[in-house]
Amino acid sequence: MRKSSILHLVGGLPLLFVISGVTHAVTLQEAAVYSLAQRCVVVQSPGNGELVNRYNDMLGITRYHFGTSNIAAASRFYLKPASLGQFLMLDRDARFMSSRVSSLEIATSGPETGSEWRISASAAGSGYRYGLRNVGTSAPLSHNFGFLGLQTETQFNLLTRPASECATFPEVQLNVEAPGYANPADALKTRAYGIRGYIDGHTHLTAEESFGGNSIAGHTFHRWGAPHALKDCREIHGEGGKQDLMGTAVGGYPSHNTAGWPQFTAWPAWNTSVTHTGYYHKWVERAHLSGLRLMVVYTVENEVLCRLGSLLGEGGKSCDTLDSVRRQVDDLYALQNYVDAQSGGPGKGFFRIVLDPAAARQVIADGKLAVVIGIEASETFNCSDLDSCSADKLKGRLDTYKAFGVRSIFPVHKFDTQVGGATINTPSLDMMNIGNVMDNGHYFGVEACDAATAGATINSDLVNVDPAKIFPGYDSMAPVLKTAVTVAAGTVNALTAPLEPHYDSAVANGNACNSRGLTQLGGELINAMIDRKILIDTDHESTKMTSAVLDIAERRGYSGIVASHGDTDENKMDPSAPHYNYIRIARLGGHISVIGRTTRRFPEVATPGFKAMKQAAEEKGYVAGIGIGTDVNGLIRMPGPLKDDPLVPVLNYPFTTEFGTKFYPQVSGNRTFNLNDHGMAHYGLLPDLMANYAQWMRSSGQQEMYESMMNSAESYLQMWERAVR
């Protein structure tokens, strides 16, 4: 199931091709079927030449039959792949040829199971004839003809017609062109080494499956297309979005217009991105066409948030991290297969999962996007302080994940584990501390940071019910009611006080570091990851843990250390060398990506990592390529509209990348998106953001940083190659 291939056919024979270490074969007949993707055809009987058309029967049912010999009157069908070898058949009036009862083909206004047709091909002379079997009824399309209709055939000619004769299937647009190339992706074909282009080192394409599968609306794809993948989110967020608990708690929007395709009234949007997908596959393809060469997709889960959602009515799928990662990895391979189906067969789509750097280089050279799978989860190994954990359990879980295709892992995420401590210098620390109690049975332990480390502020009073903030109109309440509310709030505060953490104020007020570092068990995990050539993401680790992880990596000469979105950050500093751990990572030959921010803030955020990579390049000869880690759907908002920052020039459309690809404002359904007015509303606006970054860096004398970004895919690949030696 989890396979990928690049396929060609020579001399009429099926050939074997190898990519990602897996061998595949596709027959000529299968290739003929796959090549029907996006074609406009009429269906013709080879027996008597009759063609399928539409008519209304005596009961007023709109049906299809072999009823005309006039090609002008024949139904034109647009063949939209639902999966590899299965198609929707859309006629010129945007009706689907469907079947609910064997041998009765009807027109439906929308797709359903009976609208899918499994097509097969068999050689006939110099071409092919095709069988169409309905997925819903399992019955073949058949034609009875001749004397009294005694002759039956189930193989037909599919005659290609000009695309202009067919209806247009509703789809998100790329709005990209590459002068001189029929396919814009061809402009990205390159040599396998010295690759020009950038990496997004931190994405969450499969986040819709996390937290029980009912927090993030929308999908990267749906077998029936964009209208179903990006439909109204009322089903999971409730009327007016008022059941969107994650959006309320994390995103700060207690309600929103739920309309999806084609209106998109309130989403996708930069400020509702916490709980709505940013990764429809066409948006990802548009990003790729700007020079995005490599993408790391972190499967993501937090069992505490998932269980809370389940208690409050959200979710429905297993909260267990192993189950969630398995679902998300399956989704990635399903996405790859779907994109292949749209592109004409296995291996032909732009989205290619890779398991090693050699495969990644092959994919990129072919003008496609190389995709690496990772894990960012708080219970990756189910080794909280309340779990039973051992080195054997850790190693077994690593082997399972590697068999899934996972190649990069966060040893810890939001909470402490028996492996080590999480950073507490982070937003939403109070929420994390409560989660740490739920996951481990205790709050974060803290100690005073040493002189080399910037500390955090951590609160002892996590539950403080302030009636004036909770109850609207508190100040104007009747005295009796106001007194009752005040007493109730005071009672809650009194009851919870003994359960609160009690931190030394001298430490807690800006000088707090997590007292938990890398444990002995954690050391065994890090060594096991190195033994298995799994990349280690140090973001989200406590200061002490990061230092210990880098000690091991330095002793073993392991380059496979990444900081994928800039959370190996300012709470890990040396007075003489700001962001010292960045420098240690870079000297090891590791790789740094930094989180996307507004255009004016991005160079500031990127400078420490860029300087570290540059210093290591000068000392060690590495490629100084600083990547971006957008973290879309990582429970954060995206960069906002350019118009909101008067100091940043707007982006002029169309803009042209250095690869010669020209980008126009992006159209999804009835909406046209641009960075100036809408910010990074979805992942398809990453090219626009990168173009504005480039514009800003050039104008502010930071061209060298932009050059580094455009070397980041090569830098990452060289890091990975050193790691797997």
The domains of the chain, with CATH numbers, are 36-165 (2.80.10.50), 198-377+559-576+597-607+623-723 (no CATH), 429-512 (no CATH)
Coil vs helix vs strand at 444: coil
- What is the per-residue pLDDT for 98? 98
The lowest-confidence range among 58-62, 444-448, 492-496, 679-683 is 492-496
Q: Token pair for residue 401? A: 């994940």
497 torsion bin: left (phi>0), alpha (psi -120 to 50), beta (else): alpha
Average pLDDT of the residues of the chain: 91
pLDDT band with cut points at 50, 70 and 90 for residue 14: very low
Do 53 and 75 form a contact (C-beta atoms < 8 A)? yes
State the average pLDDT over residues 98-102: 95
Mean pLDDT computed over 11-32: 61
Strand partners, 55: 63
What pLDDT score was predicted for residue 561?
98
Q: Is the dihedral of CA 246, 248, 249, 252 positive or negative?
A: positive
Predicted pLDDT of residue 314:
60
pLDDT digits (tens, 9 = 90+) for 400-432: 999 999 999 999 999 999 999 999 988 889 989
Per DSSP (E only), the strands in 125-244 are 127-134, 143-145, 151-153, 157-161, 176-177, 198-203
Read off the pLDDT of each residue in 652-678 and give the average, rounded to a whole number: 98
pLDDT on residue 578: 58
Q: Tell me, what's the pLDDT at 406?
A: 98
Give the DSSP per-residue string, 506-558. HHHEEEEEES----HHHHHHHHHHHHTT-EEE-TTB-HHHHHHHHHHHHHHT-
CA distance readout (Å), 91 to 63, 117, 667, 679: 12, 14, 24, 37
The pLDDT confidence band at residue 573, using thresholds 50, 70 and 90, is: very low
Do residues 270 and 680 lie in contact, with contact meaning Cβ atoms separated by under 8 Å?
yes
Question: Which H or E element spans position 301?
Answer: strand 292-301
Name which of 605, 639, 609 is nearest 624 in CA terms. Answer: 609
Question: Residues 562-587: what's their mean pLDDT?
Answer: 73
695 alpha carbon, distance to own chain's centre: 27
Question: What is the Cα–Cα distance from 349 to 84, expressed in whole angstroms?
Answer: 12
pLDDT tops 70 at residue 63:
yes
Comparing 305 with 364, which gets the higher pLDDT?
364
Look at residue 498 in the predicted model and tell me its pLDDT. Answer: 66
CA distances from 445 to 10, 415, 440, 504 (A): 65, 11, 12, 11
Report the candidate in 352, 356, 354 with the shortest Cα–Cα distance to residue 533. 356
Whole-number percent of the chain with pLDDT over 90: 79
Strand order in the sheet with 456-457: 446-448, 509-514, 456-457
Q: Would you state the structure tokens that stand for residue 567, as one six-digit string?
A: 């959370």
The tens digit of pLDDT for each residue in 259-311 reads: 999 999 999 999 999 999 999 999 999 999 999 999 999 999 999 989 887 77
Q: Is 465 helix (H, G, I), strand (E, B) or coil?
A: coil
Whether the per-residue pLDDT at 10 is higher than 50: the answer is no
- Residue 466: pLDDT over 90: no
19 pLDDT exceeds 80? no
Choice among 135-144, 563-572, 610-619, 620-629 with the minimum mean pLDDT: 563-572
| Alpha-carbon span 302 to 200, nearest angstrom | 22
312 pLDDT higher than 80: no
Task: Please state, as a whole number, how many other Cβ atoms lie within 10 Å of the Cβ of residue 63.
Answer: 16
Q: Are 46 and 155 in contact (CB under 8 A)?
A: yes
Whether residue 576 is predicted with pLDDT greater than 70 in this model: the reply is no
Please give the Cα distance from 287 to 398 (Å, whole number).
31
CA 254 – CA 242 distance, rounded (Å): 6
Residue holding tokens 């020579």? Answer: 10
233-262 residue pLDDT tens:
999 999 999 999 889 888 989 899 999 999
Whether the pLDDT of residue 615 is over 80: the answer is yes
pLDDT above 90 (res 472): no
DSSP code of residue 212: G
pLDDT at 564: 96
pLDDT in tens, 178-233: 999 989 999 999 999 999 999 999 999 999 999 988 899 999 999 999 999 999 99
Strands 116-124 and 127-134: antiparallel
Residue 630's closest CA among 283, 248, 128? 283
Q: Residue 107's pLDDT is what? A: 97
- What was the pLDDT predicted at 38? 97
pLDDT at 214: 86
CA distance 604 to 607: 5
Asked if 355 and 362 touch (Cβ cutoff 8 Å), the reply is no
